[in-house]
Amino acid sequence: MGNKNRVISKSTLAEHLSGDFADMLDNHDFVYAHVKNLKKKLYDAGCEHYLKTVYGTGYKWVFI
């Protein structure tokens, strides 16, 4: 929440989720899976417009 309206890169998210092991990963598929699940949960709760994908860069948390 402290980074609202700021784009967070996939690499930053991967590093936060997996710590020092992020350097050993070839891709960020697990980041995509976590974001997909989070978006689904937000959608089910009626908050589908809060997490936006910034194509080719990462994601941002948006408050409307």
Percent of the chain with pLDDT over 90: 8
Query: Which of the pair, 27 or 62, is modelled with greater confidence?
Result: 62
What one-character DSSP code corresponds to residue 7?
-
Predicted pLDDT at 44: 92
Is 22's pLDDT higher than 60? no
E strand or H helix at 46, and its extent? Answer: none
Domain positions in the chain: 8-61
Nearest to 33 by CA among 17, 20, 56: 17
